[in-house]
Structure 1
Amino acid sequence: LSARRLDANHIYSVPHNSFSGLSSLRHLWLDDNSLTEVPVQGLSSLSSLQAMTLALNKITRIPDDAFANLSSLVVLDLNYNNLDEFPTAIKALINLKELFFYDNPIQFVGKSAFQHLPELRTLSLNGATEITEFPDLTGTKSLESLDLSYNLIQDLPTFNGCERLQKIDLHHNEIQEIQTSTFQHLTALRSLDLSSNLLSSLPVTGLHGLTHLKLAGNADLQELLSAENFPKLRVMEMPYAFQCCAFVSCENHNKLSNPWDKDENRSTDHFVKKDSGILLSQELLDFEEDPKALHSVQCTPAPGPFRPCDHLFGSWLIRTGVWIIVVLSLVCNGLVAVTVFVSPTYISPAKHLIGLLAVVNSLMGFSSGVLAVVDTLTFGSFAKYGAWWESGIGCRITGFMSVFSSETCIFLLTTAALERGLSIKCAKRLESKSTKNNVKIVSAFCFILALAITVLPLLHVGEYGISSLCLPLPFGEPSSLGFMVALVLLNSLCYFVMTVTYTRLYCNLEKGELDNFWDCSMIKHVAWLLFANCILYFPVAFLSFSSLLNLSFISPEVIKSILLVIVPLPACLNPLLYMLFNPHFKEDLGILLKQTLLLKKSKQSSLVSLNSEDAEKQSCDSTQALVTFTSSENLGDGPESKSVSSASQIIEACHSQSVASVPCH
């Protein structure tokens, strides 16, 4: 008998001499039982045993002499137990080649733990969760695969004496810095996984032979890697898509997967678990044997329209359209806000809402302007700054302003539609209309509700930095998709309420009756706003629902153009409708211009009167000085007294004349 399977039998102890007479036993499975310690006496007669599995037990302690008679053991599996310290009994296994300690609460590994294991090729201490120091690998000259993932390791040593290492897994640790000499002597290294650490830089010394490199989950690692330093690289996972630009050819840029597909949204854990516990994946060997693979690099996340390599906007058509929207929205909304709030005319509740709408739309224009400026400053080299922009606070603020403006605009439009409907209803019944204070209260509630919704992505319900456009998009984490779907449903409900309100309003009016109402122009204006905004919102809602239904027939370039042009378009269209078709704007603007001209004229007249007064004072002062000079020369002369008296009369006349010319205030 060469193999014995005793797994999943609820065994809690192995009696003495249980395997007596099985001297030729090579493989023993004791996994998935209830053992609390290694059965030393029961295994003492298995001198030929080469592979033993003790995984999925409750082993908390391994005696020092547990493996004294198992010198032929090559593979030892102790995964999923309760060991809190690395057993010193391992030293007796001088022929051990594969050692697995996955998911054990090991806190410390002694410096001499591996010194007597010269044949060890695979070492797996992943999931120990308590190891904070890197174990001493002195003596493991044959080590080829090392897995220390899911621990608390912060620093890495120099891998001297481990020249045969081909695969290192250190993902999900707390490594902050790697020295230049850490991988310097690992000439055989082919696979390196440093995902989900705290790295901000990666030294490339000794990594020229890598074929697999995983760095995803290191948010502070924003530097671009050069393809010249990794000539053999075939598979790589990076924190940001922009770091793949140097490794992906221009032809592949146009063949990238749709970012709305779920394949791009797989988490880093999926890739990490795929290779866990394997010496060398078959993919690695395939890449070395397949000559076609030598000309391509599989890099994730892949760059694309939402994470571009060269230009943020991608085309001059989008770039020109965005700049036009930015200029019109800022200028036109500014004019509307000034004419509404600065004009001395009466501000009705509807006009108050139009003014608030202009202020909110200007925020949308400003956020689009920020994107346009970023596109200009990074023109042709967006990959250099993409990671900095996508993860920075500027992107979050831009996305915050865009979503806040969009949601507040919809809520204010809903309020305006309801207010117009209520005003018509009250006018027909000769009842008192809604006061301006009530509208102010509802408007404040609209701002608070929009603010609460906009803050959610900052609390990781959705995400602003999921793309370089800084908008929460329906791909990535499930929370992002849920946030977008909830947002679209809420906005659709608002548009439905507006449509029903205005449909009932027009249906209840007789022909020509609308023109008889006071401020009928505002009723028509809100109707135009409702129609225009509803038409422009339809593509956005369609895209969101299509992503929910996995409909990927729309190209990413079209989606990007809709988000950059169609979404902010109401910000410049709303004020233009008010300026071109509402008589209130022309009246308020005319009054403001007249006030401005009157103020200029009054200032000019004041300056003229003040200047004339100063001239008269100067003339009188010179006359007085002349009289004084004359009197000092002819002191005591009779004719002089006459001249003094005549000069005094002139001075009095000057003073009386200057007082009379001062304007009254």
Structure 2
Amino acid sequence: MVRPCETDAVSVVLLKTNITRLTAKAIHAAGYHLHTIEHLSVMDAPNLEHVAVEDLTKMPRLKSFFITQAPRLQRLAPLPALPELRTFMVTTSGLLEVPSLSHVHDHHRKRSNSTLSYLQAIDLEGNHIKRLPAHALRVRADQVSLNYNLLEEVPAHAFKNAQISKLSFRGNPNLRRLDDLAFAGNLLLRQLDLSNTAITSLPTKGLEKLETLKIERTPSLKYIPSIYEFQNLERAHLTHHFHCCAFAFPERHNPARHALYETQLAIMAQRCGKDKSGSNKSRRSLPTEDITEMSTVTVDYSEEDETTTNSEEYDGWSDQQYFSDSSSFETNDYFHPPVNNTFGVPLFAECGNFSKSRRKVECSPLPDALNPCEDVMGWAWLRASVWFVVAAAVVGNVAVLLVLLTNHTELTVPRFLMCHLAFSDLCTGLYLFMLAVVDLRSYGEFFNYAYDWQYGTGCKVAGFLSVFSGQLSVYTLTIVTLERWFAITYAIYLERRITLSAAAKIMLGGWTFSLLMAGLPLAGVSDYSSTSICLPVESKNVGVAVYQGSLFATNAIAWVTIVICYVQIYRSLGGGGEKYGGRGAAAAAERRIANKMALLIGTDLLCWAPVAFFGVTALAGVPLVDVSHGKVLLVFFYPLNACANPFLYAILTKQYRKDLLTLIARTGKCNWLIEKYKLGTPPPTAHTNPSMPAPLLPLVDYQRSQSQVKENGEAML
């Protein structure tokens, strides 16, 4: 073995070692001169439990200290003064708390800023750190990484009197709490990474000089502070689209703070105007309090601080991974000594360069087609229209349910089915009502409420109601149509009629299917939180695309079935009176029946066809409308059946009016209305059986033969 010269700098690498204690004696026994060591690395040390940190002082030239894959190493004593140390890394080991590094450069603290020593990198990634002791990181460092640990909170003044340029907590899934003063006292922080954590809020004290903020894949963050809290922010990589809306529209995000900013802007403009008109000065001194809130003013310093460097030097930080190897920090000196008293020295505004334009922040993810920076309803006319739709859907279906459920007549299959149809359509009305209420409460500043709505219980309930009601309504309409077709086709075979018990089993299947389709997004298949209208419209993978395709397919199959059945019913009734030459009461009744069938099919087509068409194009990857315009479909087309069904299938029928008057008569009031109805009702003819109404009235039994239907159709419609 060739021993190194006592004057040469050496790098010591202990690979796959079985040592339990790392001491100067052990290193010396390996044949190294301690005072020549500049880089000390211990890799894959499964038995290492203790590091004699006091022995590191025997290595006066030590610049980097690196330990990795030492699972039994749980604690390190406070490091002593190591004036030449630039890189300290303990990764993928068993550390339970951050070791104290506050004394590493103690003997240099009294020197001038230009000669102060600093650490290029502190990397404690991949340990089991749960605790961040106070003052443990009271250091001057360019980069500090606490990534992928088990931290639960960052306490107040954790970095007091520290000068850290880049700080990362990425991948701490248990990190939920940041104290309001967590970053207070850090004199230099320019880049902060809190991605993949569980924080719910972001304190701003100590982040005034922040240039880059990364909080990606952190859905728990509810609210982003105002842009006025970040005086130097240039880039923000966030989780939610609506957080970028807050930066784009500060006047709506924080009206009070924006009003203060506008006031100060006016003061600045006034002073610059007076300066130009009253003297030949091109720049004037401004009090500190007028500058601290000004985020759009171009500011020049009276003397350029020699330690200030261009922020472009930081551009690579957001793209690179922390501390891939220790040697990379020797050639990339990112550390900047602090600019002292940024707002404490006289500042001068160049009035010729005075700008009133809003400061731009490069923010992602940008608002997109699914999450635009707008209110739930978007347009004023849409906001007003939705209340009329809600009123029609809710009032109409409640009226149907009220009459059907309180009537003491025998429960028939058509009545039973109509109860289910009215209930499903009522759920659609309730869904739209929830959207309308949220839109009213968050008018003008929805992105401030977006988190609580989209990720709260309200949006999940609304989305569940929407999918459940849509599927159950389509299913019930299909069964109602099939029951009509079956009753007319086999009118003379009374024993073949659908029984109430059979109808109950059929509807049980419909409820099961509808609950399943509505519950899948709650179980992780698609997501109700992807947009403000709480519909599972975002396609993230093949499973979600299959789910969404199933929703469209069931609607398409149901509509085709309904159309075929109504065409068959129409043909079985004689094709609009053609059999009778287009004359007589039967022909007129057939024409009215045909018109009603056309109306039923038309409302179904208007309800499902636009939604299905644009939905299929979206699934195919070529969406023709965004969510903003899709809301028109939501308000005017999607709930069309919910508004029309109670009138077409119940309220406008004579049987419903009869049941309603029966209910009124039981109250003993409005007798004049009942008498008027009786006087206006013609007596039954010899060929009319009042107990057998027309086949298109689902609330009563059908005619026993097609001939009876034709003869009495006009009287019953």
Is this a same-fold pair by TM over 0.5? yes
The residue that corresponds to 1:150 in the other structure is 148
Task: Measure the CA separation in 2 of the matches of 1:252 and 1:298.
Answer: 19
- Higher deviation after alignment, 565-574 or 136-145: 136-145
Q: How does 1:340-419 map to 2 (within 5 A)?
A: 340-343=404-407, 348-419=412-483
The residue that corresponds to 1:437 in the other structure is 501
Inter-CA distance 34–326: structure 2 relative to 1 (3 Å threshold): same
Inter-CA distance 444–530: structure 2 relative to 1 (3 Å threshold): farther
Q: Which amino acid aligns with 2:654?
A: K
> Shift of the alpha carbon at 1:161?
6.0
Task: Measure the CA separation in 2 of the matches of 1:193 and 1:478.
Answer: 32
- Higher deviation after alignment, 420-429 or 19-28: 19-28
Which of 636, 641, 646 is residue 575 of structure 1 equivalent to? Answer: 646
Which of 20, 28, 48 is residue 61 of structure 1 equivalent to? Answer: 48
C-alpha deviations, 1:568-608, integer Å up to 9, x for none? 2321132243358x6xx23321452265257536999xxxx
Q: Which has the larger radius of gyration?
A: 1
Q: Which amino acid aligns with 1:44?
A: Y
SS across alignment from 1:372: helix
SS across alignment from 1:462: coil
Q: Which amino acid aligns with 1:277?
A: Y
Residue 114 of structure 1 contacts residue 139 of structure 1 at CA under 8 Å; is this kept in 2?
no
Residue 526 of structure 2 contacts residue 544 of structure 2 at CA under 8 Å; is this kept in 1?
yes
Q: TM-score by structure 1 length?
A: 0.70
Task: Measure the CA separation in 1 of the matches of 2:39 and 2:618.
Answer: 50
Inter-CA distance 246–252: structure 2 relative to 1 (3 Å threshold): closer
SS across alignment from 1:371: helix
> Shift of the alpha carbon at 1:452?
2.7
The residue that corresponds to 2:210 in the other structure is 210
Q: Which amino acid aligns with 1:195?
A: S
C-alpha deviations, 1:501-531, integer Å up to 9, x for none? 5566667886469999xx9999986775455
Aligned length: 558
Q: How does 1:242-257 map to 2 (within 5 A)?
A: 242-249=242-249
The residue that corresponds to 1:122 in the other structure is 121
The residue that corresponds to 2:609 in the other structure is 538
1:100 aligns with 2:164: no
> Shift of the alpha carbon at 1:107?
2.7
Task: Measure the CA separation in 2 of the matches of 1:387 and 1:529.
Answer: 40
Q: Which amino acid aligns with 2:604?
A: N
Which of 620, 634, 637 is residue 549 of structure 1 equivalent to? Answer: 620
Inter-CA distance 445–208: structure 2 relative to 1 (3 Å threshold): same
Inter-CA distance 166–475: structure 2 relative to 1 (3 Å threshold): farther
Residue 147 of structure 2 contacts residue 169 of structure 2 at CA under 8 Å; is this kept in 1?
yes
The residue that corresponds to 1:422 in the other structure is 486
C-alpha deviations, 1:438-494, integer Å up to 9, x for none? 112211321232123222333333322332222222256876555434433444444
Residue 91 of structure 2 contacts residue 123 of structure 2 at CA under 8 Å; is this kept in 1?
yes
Q: TM-score by structure 2 length?
A: 0.65
Q: Percent identity among equivalent residues?
A: 23
Residue 114 of structure 1 contacts residue 137 of structure 1 at CA under 8 Å; is this kept in 2?
no
Residue 232 of structure 1 contacts residue 294 of structure 1 at CA under 8 Å; is this kept in 2?
no
Task: Measure the CA separation in 2 of the matches of 1:602 and 1:543.
Answer: 49
Residue 367 of structure 1 contacts residue 399 of structure 1 at CA under 8 Å; is this kept in 2?
yes
Inter-CA distance 139–217: structure 2 relative to 1 (3 Å threshold): closer
Task: Measure the CA separation in 1 of the matches of 2:49 and 2:557.
Answer: 65
Task: Measure the CA separation in 2 of the matches of 1:479 and 1:23.
Answer: 65
C-alpha deviations, 1:260-317, integer Å up to 9, x for none? xxxxxxxxxxx999553068999999xx9xx999932123344467546563211023
C-alpha deviations, 1:400-437, integer Å up to 9, x for none? 22221111111212322333343344336675211122
> Shift of the alpha carbon at 1:399?
1.9
Structure 1: segments with no counterpart, 5+ residues = 1-16, 254-270, 605-665
SS across alignment from 1:539: helix
Residue 86 of structure 2 contacts residue 119 of structure 2 at CA under 8 Å; is this kept in 1?
yes
The residue that corresponds to 2:321 in the other structure is 276
> Shift of the alpha carbon at 1:365?
0.8
Task: Measure the CA separation in 2 of the matches of 1:306 and 1:251.
Answer: 23
Task: Measure the CA separation in 2 of the matches of 1:514 and 1:448.
Answer: 43
Task: Measure the CA separation in 2 of the matches of 1:96 and 1:281.
Answer: 16
SS across alignment from 2:236: strand
Q: How does 1:65-76 map to 2 (within 5 A)?
A: 72-76=61-65
The residue that corresponds to 2:177 in the other structure is 177
Residue 199 of structure 1 contacts residue 220 of structure 1 at CA under 8 Å; is this kept in 2?
yes
The residue that corresponds to 1:167 in the other structure is 166
Residue 75 of structure 1 contacts residue 98 of structure 1 at CA under 8 Å; is this kept in 2?
yes
Residue 75 of structure 1 contacts residue 99 of structure 1 at CA under 8 Å; is this kept in 2?
yes
SS across alignment from 2:517: helix
Inter-CA distance 383–601: structure 2 relative to 1 (3 Å threshold): closer
Q: Which amino acid aligns with 2:139?
A: K
The residue that corresponds to 1:589 in the other structure is 657
Inter-CA distance 588–310: structure 2 relative to 1 (3 Å threshold): closer
